[in-house]
Amino acid sequence: MAASQKKVLMILIPASLVLIWRVQAMVRYLPSSASATVVAAPEPADETVMDQFAEVVISPEAEAAIRRAQQEIEAQPWGRDPFGIRSRAQPTEAQAEMSPVATPEPPPAAPRIAFTGVSRRGDRWIAVVGGNFVRVGDIVEQNYRVVEIAKGSITLEYGGWTLRYDLGAESPVSMPSGGRP
């Protein structure tokens, strides 16, 4: 017997065993077509059960609330909002008065800088901004401090906001200092 025939047999024997095992599992767990029966329609409900449901009465106020909620849902352009949990998420008027919400200040106007490149020597990064070399800690364009220089980006900080300029991008990514965009 040739070596190539031995290799084929080494593959076919385990594969056929796995195939036999899967067919046996299907036969065992799936009903055969002869034993499969058509599911009959359920019999009509017992009158005592129907009488129990007849006793459930919804008050007019509850019915009106249900209708209002349904109209609100239908008025939305997408239908039901799966992420809206109004019953728990909306605070009462007393809670709203007790916890004032601080509105964040808008980010400062991003300066237009000519960020043209970065270079590294050892562990020291240098960026080229407006034809000048800058390092971490230097001040550029109206008190914007360089806080990070990385491969392909420079990060400036001013007034509690961080501005990250990427090479080739026209505008920076703004985020609060210590936060995410």
**Comparison of pLDDT for 106 and 8, the residue scoring more:** 8
Instruction: State how far the alpha carbon of 31 is from the alpha carbons of 18, 26, 34, 42, in Å.
Output: 21, 9, 8, 22
DSSP-H helix ranges across 30-170: 47-54, 60-75, 86-89, 93-98
Residue-level pLDDT at 46: 57
Q: What percent of the chain has pLDDT over 90?
A: 10
Which pTM value belongs to this model?
0.42
Q: Which two tokens stand for residue 94?
A: 């007393």
Residue ranges of domains in the chain? 115-176
Measured from the Cβ of residue 17, the count of other Cβ atoms closer than 10 Å reads 10
Instruction: State how far the alpha carbon of 146 is from the alpha carbons of 25, 108, 141, in Å.
Output: 66, 15, 10
